[in-house]
């Protein structure tokens, strides 16, 4: 009997914990999101996808080099579509040393934000965090939509139908 109470208490604690963690995710707002990814959960403490670690060469329109950081929700997502709350932050560099940061582009999976296009919230920030484009920019969506089966993600293959 005692054990049951302990189990119930643990379950309540876990559930409240999950609720709080969820409530802490930022709204789809460029300034709040920037504060979140630079303070509340600094993106440079996140991980990389195993098939895309550290500084990597890239192409237009994002520039010649980049790093793609992924939060835990994203890294735990084994299949497309990824879990809600996934954040992908891409640092875009002009040089091969990873010193000349040109822009920070973000994809944030927000339930109900844009169901027609994978529920992604998109932002392009200057290196200092000024949002230059955000929301549902057609440019971002149209190009990334070439990989709609991979949940609009370019650099990591979730392993879809052709496997
Ligand atoms: C013309 C095509 C194109 C457009 C437009 C585009 N992207 Fe991308 N994006 C790519 C490619 C290709 C990659 C793979 C990495 C690379 O080559 O830089 C990528 C990678 C990314 C990634 C890393 C996650 C992933 O999907 O691999 C993010 C985040 C991202 N883009 C955000 C944006 C945002 C925000 C915009 C709009 C402001 C945007 N992209 C517009 C082609 C595009």
Cβ of 58 closer than 6 Å to ligand 1, yes or no, is: yes
Q: Supply the pLDDT for residue 23.
A: 56
Q: Supply the pLDDT for residue 103.
A: 98
Residue nearest to atom 13 of ligand 1 (CA): 154
Cβ of 61 closer than 6 Å to ligand 1, yes or no, is: yes
Cis peptide bond N-terminal to 61, omega within 30:
yes
One digit per residue, the tens of pLDDT, for the chain of length 163 reads: 667 776 776 666 555 555 555 558 999 999 999 999 999 999 999 999 999 999 999 999 999 999 999 999 999 999 999 999 999 999 999 999 999 999 999 999 999 999 999 999 999 999 999 999 999 999 999 999 999 999 999 999 999 765 4
Name the residue among 129, 111, 145 with its Cα closest to residue 121: 111
Per-position b or e across 69-108, b if 16+ CB within 10 A of its CB: bbbeebbebeebbbbbbbbbbbbbbeeeeeeebbbbbbbb
Cβ of 106 closer than 6 Å to ligand 1, yes or no, is: yes
Name the residue among 140, 142, 143 with its Cα closest to residue 124: 140
Name the residue among 73, 152, 153, 79 with its Cα closest to residue 115: 152
Q: Supply the pLDDT for residue 114.
A: 98
Q: Supply the pLDDT for residue 8.
A: 73
Q: Supply the pLDDT for residue 1.
A: 60
Cβ of 143 closer than 6 Å to ligand 1, yes or no, is: yes
Cβ of 141 closer than 6 Å to ligand 1, yes or no, is: no
Cβ of 144 closer than 6 Å to ligand 1, yes or no, is: yes
Q: Supply the pLDDT for residue 14.
A: 58
Q: Supply the pLDDT for residue 4.
A: 76
CA of 21 to the centre of ligand 1 (A): 28
Would you say 136 and 28 are in contact if contact means Cβ atoms under 8 Å apart? no
């Amino acid at each position: 009997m005692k054990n049951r109470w302990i189990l119930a208490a643990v379950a309540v604690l876990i559930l409240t914990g999950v609720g709080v963690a969820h409530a802490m995710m930022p709204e789809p707002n460029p300034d709040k999101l920037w504060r979140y990814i630079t303070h509340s959960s600094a993106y440079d403490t996140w991980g990389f996808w195993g098939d895309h670690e550290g500084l990597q060469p890239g192409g237009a329109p994002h520039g010649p080099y980049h790093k793609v950081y992924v939060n835990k929700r994203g890294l735990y997502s084994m299949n497309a579509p990824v879990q809600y709350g996934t954040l992908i932050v891409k640092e875009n560099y002009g040089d091969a040393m990873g010193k000349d940061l040109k822009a920070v582009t973000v994809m944030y999976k927000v339930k109900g934000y844009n169901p027609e296009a994978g529920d992604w919230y998109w932002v392009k920030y200057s290196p200092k965090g000024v949002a230059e484009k955000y929301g549902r920019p057609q440019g971002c969506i149209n190009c990334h939509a070439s990989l709609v089966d991979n949940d609009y993600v370019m650099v990591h293959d979730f392993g879809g139908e052709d496997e």
